Structure 1
Amino acid sequence: MSLREWWQLLHFLRPHWLWMILAIPVFYASLFVRENARRPWQGLIEPALLDHLMVPRKHRWRFRPVHLLSLLIALGSIAAAGPTWRREQPPFAEDKAPLVIALDLSTTMNAVDLSPTRLERVKLKLRDLIHRRDGGRTALFVYAENAYMVLPFTTDESLFDVYLDTLRTNLMPHEGKDSVKALQTMEGFLKDETVPGTILFVTDGIEPSALPSFQRFTAKQDQSDEILVLGVGTSEGGPVQDGPSHFLEDRSGRRVFSKLDVAALRALSHDGIDASTLTPDDDDIKWIQHHTQHHMELLENRDTRTRWIDEGYLVAIPLAVLSAFWFRKGWTIRWTAALLAFGLLLPPSGFAMEGADRSSHFSWMDIWMTPNQQGRYYFQKKEYKKAAERFEDPMWRGLALARMGDYDAALNAFALSDSAEAWFNQGDALAHSGKYPASVEAFRQALLRRPDWKEAEDNLIFIQSLIPKPKEQKKEKKEQTEESPNLPPDQVRFDDKGKEGKKARTNIKPVTTADIWMRNIQTSPANFLRRRFAMQDARERRP
């Protein structure tokens, strides 16, 4: 809740108690009359002489008991008036807002501008979000050209983990992106909900043609649900993977780069739809949680069927603390010195020495060194994991990842650039991963950009020598598949005691057809979702 919204909701249940505040100026007036040194002598000494006999008081302000008494009166009157700004929830009502997640599974979610890919990074974020919701009802939908339900409202975190791990862009029956159809599906899903809900679009862009539909959704007078948009990707963009160590190409053979549509996110913000982007820390999760819960509480505060909560007890706590000073005789407190000492005794929680969690603390190295300089520092110390976390330059980050042995992540970092050096490093990473044909192609791309690069030529020749020729491949395959049929058994043993066995009667439980059918189901969650999406798509396309 923002300060402006809090101020609009703030009111008092018993406002007549605020008249007690008028006692404060009465106390100040009586103190002024009491401390007037001229008043007792005005009838005894001539005024002209009295002016010379009076000693002027030093005008130095200090905190006095009358100030404490005034503060106690003010706080006491506010507490008695019953300040309130939120309503009491009815029994058995939900205290956590429902959330519907609409995850974009279009092809561009495989871009590698976020490591390892946009989709994999989003899955990690959504897993953290589900754990942070702590029992809040959450549903999961995915969409591309059409929208499909993965999970209805549930509070089972383990179930979410299972289905999040299986989500891939190739589960979609058709490529494309239709945010309008996804919005209509979410709206129909929430139409019977009695609690105000939130629709969270997790996508790398909203189509310009879909903006009017989003505007009409939020402009409805009876609309109790809200839309949040979490943008995935970077404005610089990155190549799109379409397979292991392979990237999507256009008709001319160039790699397809996908960029986050920042302009569409800004347009949504101008239309009153809250939009944000993925962050390295958990600020985006806090943002989602805050807006989701705040939206539900804001609408519930407009419900006149519930009572307002008396928050006056909050004021009673400082009232009791200040009252403790009233019983001290001849007290004098150096408030400035006390506050300074209190501040110095507090632990520096906002700062952290080197090695602390960078997502929630400030590092002293940030004062003196840029992220790339910090990466070079750790790179020279051979602490490559820390170096990869600090580097913003994709080339240096890829080198650090390669030194760690994480060649797949290094390949994604090198792929963010189209320079000859980037292609050379991609060829090196692919060679270390054993993907020699792709490594040869990478070194050829490097030579196209720098034809006289001898190191690239030497590496190209060396990697080509490691690729087995077609005849050798067939020979190896034949040797692997050849088996000797009709091998004699090592030993043959017979049951000579079989005739000595006794007859016995065994009760065998009959097996139903349903049991046999359930046992024969051997499919992964991914195959289950792929078949269900295909069946829904075929049913909707049927005339």
Structure 2
Amino acid sequence: MSAYFEALAEFHFLRPWWLLVLLAAIWLPWAVRRRGDIRRRWRGVIAPHLLNALVVGETRERALRPVHLSALLLALGAIALAGPTWERERPPFPSDKAPLVIAVDLSPTMDAIDVTPTRLERAKLKIKALLARRDGGRTAIYAYAGSTHLVLPLTDDPTLLQTFADALQTRIMPVPGKDTVLAVRTIDAALKKETVPGTILLLTDGVEPAAVEPLHAYARSARTQVVVLAIGTADGGPLRGRDGTAPGLDSATLHALRAADIDVATLTPDGDADVAWVQRHVRQHVEQAASPDTVRWHDVGWPLTIPIALLALLWFRKGWTIRWIVGIGAAVVLAAPQADLRAQSTTAPRAWRMADLWLTHDQQGRRAFEQGKSAEAATQFDDPMWRGVSWYRAGKFAEAAREFEHISSPDGHFNLGNALAKQGKYQDAIPQYRLVLQQRPGWAPAQRNLALMQELIERQKQNEKHDEEAPDIKPDQIQYDASTPPPPPGGDKMQKGLAQQNAEMWMRAIQTSPTELLARKFALQRQQGKP
């Protein structure tokens, strides 16, 4: 029900001026009825008591006439062209790359069995459902208790992610307790390197009351979104495998988190509504972070062409007539491409297709784009931004650059710089990123790409300088220090044998479970003071 009201609140028309045609749809039946009223036409000439006697052959009007059908078609056409919408389209570049970091609470209370089989095992099941819904989205996993540790960096491999998620156990954490603020800060520092704004999902059975205020301050200032999925019951339960009882969910703290602008949901034991809630927040965060000139709304007016076509069939009924000149004129006006619907194409005109009767070029291109046919979509789009995005996805960076050259917005310059960089034209990409920074001062993605281009150019210069030196120059004589004896005969073979032996010992050493591997890794990181 909440989703229904959210959609209702977002409802609007993309091109509301087309609704003025509704006035013509209302006026048309009234005008035709008025024109056909014989009594009204003679009322000023013949006395009323004589007019009633002189009017003969008057028949009862039909309830449905061609003019009513024409008015209905005008109304439906006006609504369709006005572009009703209530849902944002996913941005072409970042939506499917939106990073999500799953932070799993591994404090001892996660072994409570108030939810079956345990809170931690239920969290693993939710991770599996979320990875399936992510459909290749980039995801990372962290574990935290009194310390925070990286389990797996951002990757789109769900099998690898699930393998390491299944290996998580509370006993592998080197520091007991729970420090949620440390976990959020550590993960946020890693997500700052990402171009697309990320989301931190805390899978936990509670947050310390002292962490509410720092998280509130973080939510107001940070680029990264934090959402909490609370796992447990209000009553708590015993710990599996050891003595003790875990406390239940602290409802007061959860309410305080919601008041602190942190989105909180509780476990859905009988479904995946909580997983859908998480994925929806990830998508909405990326869309809200996108610049206003890149936000696109999904136009749902085109399905109205189906009832328009069905109603138009009634014009062929026997006895029905229509003024075809007016009808053809109205059809031409309604079918004319609008400037905001179809941009000026920079590609050669394409041949007419049967689908053109039902879908615009951009709609056909979007269908091909969503099916993964990027090269085909690029030939169908009229919108230069979408053509460029499609060429970019297809790996045709030169074609993408030609399309982005016609877009003067910051996103156009940014995408053009990316397309040039993909071609190795680092020097040409630098001015594009600088143009973006002139229009969007301090924009982190452009700053990072500009710095990367300058670094790559410097690296190319060093490689060229290195290539100028002869690589096969051998020393005239090898000198050994007096304290270091020269290598014995057959030393190379001995070194190779030792290296092979060490490699075999190392391979035998890592033949252990992922859980033990993570435990050793976390302990070593704790000793070195690294997350």
Shorter-chain TM range is 0.5 to 0.7
* Match among 492, 503, 508 for residue 515 of structure 1: 503
Q: Report if aligned partners of 1:96, 1:293 keep a CA contact under 8 Å in 2.
A: no
Mapping of residues 184-263 of structure 1, within 5 Å: 184-220=185-221, 223-241=222-240, 243=241, 247-249=242-244, 256-263=245-252
Shift of residue 7 of structure 1? 5.6
Aligned to 1:125: 126
Per-residue deviation at 1:162? Answer: 1.4
What's the counterpart of residue 299 of structure 1? Answer: 289
Report what 2:180 is aligned to.
179
Match of 1:289 among 269, 279, 288: 279
2:113 corresponding residue in structure 1: 112
Task: Pick one of 260, 267, 290 that aligns with 2:256.
Answer: 267
Q: Distance in 2 between matches of 1:515 and 1:44?
A: 114
Percentage identity across paired residues of the two chains: 44
Give the CA deviation at 1:524: 1.4
Distance 2:199 2:137 in 1: 12
Question: Which protein shows a greater Rg?
Answer: 1
Output aligned runs, 1:139-538, within 5 Å. 139-220=140-221, 223-241=222-240, 243=241, 247-249=242-244, 256-279=245-268, 280-300=270-290, 302-304=291-293, 313-329=302-318, 512-513=500-501, 515-521=503-509, 522-538=511-527
Cα deviation, 1:292-319, whole Å, max 9, x if unaligned, reads 112212322x342577776653443443
Deviation at 1:159, TM superposition (A): 0.9
Deviations 1:450-475 (A, max 9, x none): xxxxxxxxxxxxxxxxxxxxxxxxxx
Alignment pair present for 1:134 and 2:145:
no
Query: Does the CA-based 8 Å contact 1:101-1:139 persist in structure 2?
Result: yes
- The answer on whether the counterparts of 2:91 and 2:287 sit within 8 Å (CA) in structure 1 is no
> CA–CA distance in 2 between the matches of 1:263 and 1:296?
30
Cα deviation for residue 518 of structure 1 reads: 3.6
**Aligned in 2, Cα 1:187/1:73: closer, same or farther, shift over 3 Å?**
same
Instruction: Find the aligned partners of 1:97 and 1:329 in 2 and give their Cα distance.
Output: 59
Distance 2:62 2:225 in 1: 53
Which residue of the partner structure matches residue 12 of structure 1?
Answer: 14
* Residue pair 1:65, 1:326 contacting (<8 A) in 2 also: yes
Q: 1:330 deviation in Å? A: 6.9
Relative to structure 1, the CA distance from residue 96 to residue 83 in structure 2 (aligned partners, 3 Å threshold; closer, same or farther) is farther
**Structure 2: runs of 5 or more not aligned:** 321-495
Amino acid at match of 1:204: D
Encode CA deviations 1:336-367: one digit per residue, 9 max, x unaligned.
Answer: xxxxxxxxxxxxxxxxxxxxxxxxxxxxxxxx
* Aligned mates of 1:52, 1:291 — CA distance in 2: 74
C-alpha distance in structure 1 between counterparts of 2:289 and 2:64, whole Å:
44
* C-alpha separation in 1, matches of 2:308 and 2:83: 14
Q: CA deviation at 1:536?
A: 1.5
User: Cα distance, 1:541 vs. partner?
Assistant: 8.7
Q: Which residue of 1 aligns with 2:479?
A: none
Matched letter for residue 238 of structure 2: P
Task: Map 1:51-66; keep pairs closer than 5 Å.
Answer: 65-66=66-67
TM-score, normalization: structure 2?
A: 0.58
Decide whether aligned partners of structure 1 residues 16 and 38 sit closer, same or farther in structure 2, where only a CA change above 3 A counts: same
Question: Matched residues in 1 for 2:59 and 2:255: separation?
Answer: 60
Task: Tell me the TM-score normalised to structure 1 length.
Answer: 0.57
- Count of matched residue positions in the alignment of Structure 1 and Structure 2: 349
Q: Secondary structure at the match of 2:529?
A: helix
Which amino acid in the other structure matches residue 285 of structure 1? Answer: V
Once residues 198 and 115 of structure 2 are traced to their aligned partners in structure 1, the CA distance between those partners, rounded to angstroms, is: 29
- C-alpha offsets along residues 403-425 of structure 1, whole Å, 9 cap, x if unaligned? xxxxxxxxxxxxxxxxxxxxxxx
Aligned-pair distance for 1:100?
A: 0.8
